[in-house]
Amino acid sequence: MKLHKPLFSIIVILIQLILSLISYYDFIEWGKANPELNALICRIFHGDSLFIFVTLIGFYEMLTKPSLFKTFLRIFLICIVLGTQFGGLIPIADFYSGVYNTAWFSAVVAFFLILIRIIKK
């Protein structure tokens, strides 16, 4: 399998890794600052799975030959990263969840498309 111009996807994946690590440290700090609330509620951290989703979609983008579809995948990756970071600024109810679920579905599709390419080789 040949990688076609992987620099863009590598940069997006690294940016998502950094953002996920920052989000994780904020998640841990909030738990330390509010131990009584942390014991009462069950908080879920989505940064790790979001990083995996961006990695899968980015890897599939690396495998795709230059075309209009590759450009669409690049724009889609940017929308996922920016949508999850600035979801609180968008005045749409549950915007973050919508972007997260779209990334989840797209990562599953990308995973199966990668598997199909591996099986064909």
Q: At what angle do helices 47-63 and 7-33 cross, to 10 degrees?
A: 180
pLDDT exceeds 90 at position 1:
no
pLDDT (tens digit per residue) in 3-19: 788 899 999 999 999 99
pLDDT (tens digit per residue) in 19-66: 999 999 998 998 899 888 877 888 888 888 999 999 999 999 999 999
The helix (run of H) or strand (run of E) holding residue 25 is helix 7-33
pTM, entire model: 0.87
pLDDT (tens digit per residue) in 56-113: 999 999 999 999 999 999 999 999 999 989 988 888 888 988 999 999 999 999 999 9
